[in-house]
Amino acid sequence: MNKQVFISYQHNDDDFAELLKLKIKDAGFDSWVDSEDLQAGEEWQVSIDQAIKGAFALIVIMTPEAQASEYVTYEWSFAWGAGVKVIPVMYKQTQLHPRLKTLQYLDFTSKPKPWDKLFDALKIAASAHSSSPTQTTQDFSPQIVEAAKLIVAAALAQAQEQASEAPTNKPIEEKETEKRISELITPKASQQLAGAKVLWVDDRPQLNTYERQALEQLGIQFTISTSTEDALEKLQGDNKYSVIISDMGRPPDKQAGYTLLEEIRKRGITIPFIIYAGSRAPEYVAETRRRGGLGTTNRPIELFEMVVDAIKAR
């Protein structure tokens, strides 16, 4: 059984985070706590993403400072999108994000402290995690193998397009990609993905052919739009789409992704929204989430995971 708990907090609350870590250890669980100041940059994000995906639950320590922290917001919202159990702990009274309000938080602002309730929630989350079906990584289905090949092709095409910039990341391998996809696609997920509809907004859709084909291997269907206005027209009436993907800049609007996101949220459209653009720096991810989106990425495999996780969560 995976017994790792990710603790998300703002660093003014180091003392309580350390106490929480000790209490969790006494209850029989390991924890992942960042003990140094977080540094904006890709390496930070990779390590955070891996730690969250390796956890069965994320505890977010809520205070006014944590509420305002883009890093804390990134962590719990990434966990939410990745299907990791999120447990809010109210350490100091503060307004909760609308998404966190839908969860049952634990109030540590008064006595007695609800430690037992916290440990019970962790036990339930750990049990659910260990009993969830997983696929063997030794014998992948043809759909997963083909999807992996297409994702690798997308990454290579992206690298060639940006050939003027020396790549800083190790190229992804097909076997590694197959394994990551197989972990996402449980039998239940296959049923959820089959026939799901995604609206992809990009004025140069030919650049994303491989990414779409990889997702189509799982039964996901796409509608293509090349402008903000056309996308808004397609979104009128019933919201038949499970996810919206948008690029960022479309002439003449350099922030067309944000423009579309803000407009659909004004209209009460709550469809998960992902920006697929040139950077996945933490500040851009946090800004997209502040505006009501799931996040921003420039990596084909991460986009694949975000789309699948969003459909599974609906």
Residue 272, pLDDT score: 95
Residue 53, pLDDT score: 83
Rounding to the nearest 10 degrees, give the CA dihedral for residues 64, 69, 71, 72.
10
Helical (H) or strand (E) element with 201: strand 197-201
Single out the residue of 280, 270, 286, 271 nearest to residue 303, CA to CA: 280
The alpha carbon of 293 is separated from its chain's Cα centroid by a whole number of angstroms, namely: 10
Could you count the other beta carbons within 10 Å of the beta carbon of residue 57?
Answer: 26
Q: How far apart are CA 239 and CA 152, in angstroms?
A: 32
Residue 96, pLDDT score: 85
Q: How far apart are CA 77 and CA 106, in angstroms?
A: 18
The alpha carbon of 102 is separated from its chain's Cα centroid by a whole number of angstroms, namely: 18
- % of the chain at pLDDT higher than 90: 51
The answer to whether residue 13 scores a pLDDT higher than 60 is yes
Q: How far apart are CA 295 and CA 287, in angstroms?
A: 8
Cβ within 8 Å of residue 40, ≥6 positions away: 281, 282, 283
What is the DSSP secondary-structure string of 221-265? Answer: EEEEE-SHHHHHHHTSSS---SEEEE-S-BTTBTTHHHHHHHHHH
Cβ within 8 Å of residue 276, ≥6 positions away: 202, 208, 211, 245, 246, 247, 296, 297, 298, 303
The alpha carbon of 133 is separated from its chain's Cα centroid by a whole number of angstroms, namely: 21
Place of tokens 């052919």: 209
Residue 167, pLDDT score: 44
pLDDT bucket at 157, cuts 50 / 70 / 90: confident
- The number of residues making up the chain comes to 314
Q: What are phi and psi of 131, to 5 degrees?
A: -95, -5
Which domains occur in the chain, in start order?
4-131 (3.40.50.10140), 142-313 (3.40.50.2300)
- In the chain, the amino acid numbered 277 is A
pLDDT bucket at 70, cuts 50 / 70 / 90: confident
Single out the residue of 16, 41, 20, 46 nearest to residue 32, CA to CA: 20
Q: What is the pTM for the complete model shown?
A: 0.59
The alpha carbon of 242 is separated from its chain's Cα centroid by a whole number of angstroms, namely: 15
Could you count the other beta carbons within 10 Å of the beta carbon of residue 306?
Answer: 23
Q: Over the chain, what is the mean pLDDT?
A: 85
Residue 131, pLDDT score: 60
The answer to whether residue 62 scores a pLDDT higher than 90 is yes
Helix 282-290 and helix 70-81: axis angle, to 10°?
80
Is 8 in a helix, a strand, or coil?
A: strand
Residues forming a β-bridge with 297: 276
Each residue of 78-133: pLDDT tens digit? 787 677 889 999 999 998 877 777 778 999 999 999 999 999 999 988 887 766 55
Residue 300, pLDDT score: 93
pLDDT bucket at 240, cuts 50 / 70 / 90: confident
The answer to whether residue 138 scores a pLDDT higher than 60 is no
Each residue of 186-214: pLDDT tens digit? 878 888 898 899 999 999 999 899 999 99
Residue 43, pLDDT score: 55
Residue 163, pLDDT score: 56
Residue 307, pLDDT score: 95
